[in-house]
């Protein structure tokens, strides 16, 4: 029996398999509003065979968007636009849908990647960025505003309101984005956080805001709705955030009712040195899972079905999240099921596509029957 195609529960939400479509920014929103692109993209991802699709990083306030094209869930217009997308995707797939709630912190106010990705001139005038400390991500950038007590409370309330909107939209779960150098990660890392108050300095202090936001979101939604977190398990920079500190954070989160942890790395410093190789982040997921026992997602250069299966069989993680690999091969889940002698949900319009020798590959997307 394939472990990749065995079910798993996150909180009270049942996933038919352990393939996760990781959050992937599309930079295609207008004023934070989802567009037709999101219907096409997410519909495509939801028919990949994955048990769970996590929507891209979605800003909890307009200033928290990475780029002008990033999704937001800050107001009624954002909510209505995303409702249209979710309703369309639900019609064609039974994949579960989570959302990743985020604030870009000092990495906000940037151009889209295909427009160069550099900080926009607006960062100096109308689009102020915020961070734990007034330290720019890159030397040539405008430093962010260091958050005061009022700003911390504003952002915490923004996470709460976006979480409530997520629940109203009928989404199945929430992932908080505390990775890749964005705001919550910035509080954790001594590279970005050089505060001298109760939110800076010691490990306990640097974890404080992340834990406060998690606790607030956990309380804002119904108990059975899964709430998890994505972290950068290490900064890949001497003197930065480490796997050992990630384990301490994960212990605290588990005590607060965190349902899963999505283990990535890096992003807080341009000085990072990463040795890229297949599954390069899996050892971090393994260490956190072994120490904490929380349901764990592994992500990062996991591209082959047998590779994913081996990670799960070894107990290094509980789920496999794919991003670029899914964009390159939007039917990755189908091909994985064929390779591992498993079955996968697919809409009846596509049943004729299965090769003759794989006639038992597909299940009915609505009933789960072959």
pLDDT tens profile 26-53: 999 999 999 999 999 999 999 999 999 9
Asked if pLDDT for residue 326 goes beyond 50, the answer is yes
Residue 70: closest CA among 38, 45, 96, 39: 38
Name which of 98, 113, 100, 97 is nearest 58 in CA terms. 100
Q: What does the pLDDT look like over 118-129, one tens digit per residue?
A: 999 999 999 999
DSSP character at residue 318? S
Distances in Å between the alpha carbon of 197 and those of 18, 150, 205?
41, 14, 8
Mean of the per-residue pLDDT values of the chain: 96
For the cut 60, the answer to whether the pLDDT of residue 82 exceeds it is yes
Statement: 8-345 belongs to CATH 3.40.50.300:
no
Q: How confident is the model at residue 366 (pLDDT cuts 50, 70, 90)?
A: low
> So where are the chain's domains?
8-345
Q: Is the pLDDT of residue 159 over 50?
A: yes
Q: Exposure pattern of 81-104 as b/e (b: 16+ CB <10 Å)? A: bbeebbebbeebbbbbbbbbbbbb
Per-residue confidence (pLDDT) for residue 359, from 0 to 100 = 75
pLDDT beyond 50 at 309: yes
From the list 223, 226, 221, the residue with the least C-alpha distance to 175 is 226
Band of pLDDT at residue 364, cut at 50, 70 and 90: low
Query: How would residue 367 be classed by pLDDT, with cut points 50, 70 and 90?
Result: very low
Q: By percentage, how much of the chain surpasses pLDDT 70?
A: 98
First to last CA, the chain: 17
Question: In whole angstroms, how large is the CA radius of gyration of the chain?
Answer: 20
Spatial distance between the Cα atoms of 169 and 53, rounded to a whole number of angstroms = 15
pLDDT at 354: 84
Q: Among 142, 98, 147, which residue's Cα sits nearest to residue 120?
A: 142
* Structure confidence by residue, pLDDT tens digits, 161-206: 999 999 999 999 999 999 999 999 999 999 999 999 999 999 999 9
The yes-or-no verdict on residue 223 having pLDDT over 50 is yes
Task: Give the active site residue among 182, 199, 328, 350.
Answer: 182
Q: What was the pLDDT predicted at 360?
A: 80
CB under 8 Å to 318, separation ≥6 — which residues?
8, 18, 260, 289, 295, 296, 297, 312
- Cα distance between residue 201 and residue 194, in whole Å: 7
Query: Is position 280 annotated as part of the catalytic site?
Result: no
Instruction: Of 284, 279, 215, 275, give the one whose Cα is nearest residue 245.
Output: 284
pLDDT at 106 over 50: yes
Quickly state the pLDDT bin for 368 (edges 50, 70, 90): very low
Helix (H, G, I), strand (E, B), or coil: what is residue 289?
Answer: helix
CA dihedral 163, 169, 173, 178 (to 10 degrees): -40
Mean pLDDT of 15-35: 98
Counting residues of the chain whose pLDDT is more than 90, the rounded percentage is 92
Nearest to 177 by CA among 29, 57, 22: 57
Cα–Cα distance measured from residue 205 to residue 226, given in angstroms and rounded to the nearest whole number? 26
CA dist 134 → 103, 131, 193, 211, 365 (Å): 16, 7, 9, 22, 50
């Amino acid at each position: 029996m394939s472990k990749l195609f065995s079910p798993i529960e996150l909180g009270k939400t049942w996933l038919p398999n352990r393939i996760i479509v990781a959050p992937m920014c599309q930079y295609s929103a207008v004023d934070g509003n989802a567009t037709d692109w999101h219907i096409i993209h997410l519909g495509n991802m939801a028919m990949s065979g994955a048990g769970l699709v996590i929507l891209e990083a979605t800003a909890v306030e307009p200033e928290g968007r990475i780029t002008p094209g990033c999704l937001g869930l800050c107001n009624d217009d954002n909510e209505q636009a995303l409702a249209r997308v979710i309703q369309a995707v639900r019609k064609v797939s039974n994949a579960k849908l989570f959302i990743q709630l985020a604030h870009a912190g000092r990495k906000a106010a940037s151009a889209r990647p295909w427009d160069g990705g550099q900080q926009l001139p607006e960062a100096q005038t109308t689009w102020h960025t915020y961070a734990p400390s007034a330290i720019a991500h890159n030397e040539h950038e405008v430093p962010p505003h260091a958050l005061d007590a009022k700003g911390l409370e504003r952002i915490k309330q923004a996470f709460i309101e976006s979480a409530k909107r997520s629940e109203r939209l009928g989404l199945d779960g929430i992932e908080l984005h505390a990775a890749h150098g964005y705001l919550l990660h910035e509080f954790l890392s001594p590279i970005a956080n050089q505060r001298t108050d109760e939110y800076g300095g010691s490990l306990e202090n640097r974890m404080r805001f992340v834990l406060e936001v998690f606790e607030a979101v956990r309380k804002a939604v119904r108990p059975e709705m899964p709430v998890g977190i994505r972290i950068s398990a290490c900064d890949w920079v001497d003197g930065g955030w480490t796997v050992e500190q990630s384990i301490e954070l994960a212990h605290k989160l588990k005590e607060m009712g965190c349902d899963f942890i999505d283990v990535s790395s890096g992003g807080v410093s341009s000085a990072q040195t990463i040795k890229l190789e297949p599954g390069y982040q899996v050892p971090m997921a393994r260490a956190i899972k072994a120490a904490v026992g929380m349901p764990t997602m592994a992500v990062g250069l996991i591209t082959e079905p047998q590779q994913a299966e081996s990670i799960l069989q070894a107990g290094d993680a509980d789920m496999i999240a794919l991003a670029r690999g899914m964009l390159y091969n939007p039917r990755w889940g189908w091909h994985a099921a064929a390779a591992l002698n498993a079955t996968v949900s697919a809409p009846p319009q596509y049943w004729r596509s299965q090769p003759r020798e794989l006639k038992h590959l597909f299940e009915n997307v609505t009933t789960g029957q072959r």
